[in-house]
Amino acid sequence: MKSTALFTSDLHGSPRRYEALFEAIESENPAMVLLGGDLLESGLASLGGGPSIVDSFIVPELERLRRLMGVRYPPVCVIPGNDDGTFEEEAFLDAEMEGLILYLPCKRARIGSFTVYGYPYIPPSPFRIKDWERYDVSRYVDPGCMPPEEGIGHGKNLLGSDLLYPTIADDLERLTGADDLSSAIFLFHAPPYKSSLDRAALDGKMVDHCPLDVHIGSIAIRRFIEERQPLLSLHGHVHESATLTGSWSQRFGRTWSFSGAHDGPELALVRIPLEDPASASREII
């Protein structure tokens, strides 16, 4: 198996970005492809119905790639993001049944000598779609944000929960238990809090005379990375962070963390040599 992974996130249903991604998959023969959420049009924009981009474009293109590449077709690991309406989950699951993707919200998959863990949830946000939101480490909600249970669609994804107020911290503990994470790749949508990957353009903005935190990532995810030290953690969600901080990567101990989000119309493609993550590169295509 070749040892380079391709990672990106926040494609937001853009055919231009997907075409660039599919071209890279075809030409580069990666060991795996990792898609970190917010893959579709806005959940609210899609509520009116119409053809699913999964069925009408993504699946046919993946089928074409599989026919073309044959045994070279890589595992394609997918998680949703907070802007991906859960009415598309059945389409993702159908694609998984056809062997086109591995759909990994709060699940894991063994690929060669690596284990990929998927985790789609973000902390409470101002956005109305709440299917992929959780409280972070407590029931605290930042100024300007809406509690998960007060938005649209909360609790209607196929995962469900047996907790009244589940947290990201709870989920990560249940997902990993006592697993050895030395060769683990974590596919998150949310970035770690107060890092170079979660810096939002909220400078000087206030709600009810309270200044907004410019860092909007997850405290639980940052603590998890620092304490459990997986091989890689991959993130998206905050499109403008790399522009504002000048960095799309950060190291936490032995863990390398990368962002696949981008605030322009292009695709941000991260190439990760799995035996040497420190030499990862990012190209805006």
Reported as a single tens digit per residue, the pLDDT across 137-170 is 999 999 999 999 888 875 556 555 555 688 999 9
pLDDT for the residue numbered 154: 56
Q: Alpha-carbon distance 83 to 252, whole Å?
A: 28
Q: How much is the pLDDT for 37? A: 97
Q: What is the pLDDT of residue 43?
A: 63
- Residue 94 CA from chain centroid, whole number: 20
Q: How many residues comprise the chain?
A: 285
Residue 55: CB partners within 8 Å, gap ≥ 6?
91
**pLDDT < 70 stretches in the chain:** 1-2, 43-51, 154-164
pLDDT at 155: 52
Q: What's the pLDDT at 84?
A: 93
Residue 149 DSSP label? G
Cβ within 8 Å of residue 103, ≥6 positions away: 78, 79, 92, 93, 95, 96, 118
**Alpha carbon distance 259, 98 (integer Å):** 29
Any idea where the domains of the chain sit in the sequence? 4-284
The burial class, CB within 10 Å (0-12 / 13-18 / 19+), for 2 is: middle
CATH of 4-284, one of 3.40.50.1100, 3.40.50.300, 3.60.21.10, 3.40.228.10: 3.60.21.10
d(CA 223, CA 194): 11
Q: What is the pLDDT of residue 42?
A: 74
* 214, 255 Cβ separation under 8 angstroms: no
8 A C-beta contact, residue 35 and residue 9: yes
Rounded CA-CA distance 234/250 in Å is 10
Look at the alpha carbons of 163, 152, 40, 222 in this order and tell me if their dihedral is positive or negative.
negative
Q: How many CB atoms lie within 10 A of CB 5?
A: 26
Return the pLDDT at 235.
Answer: 98
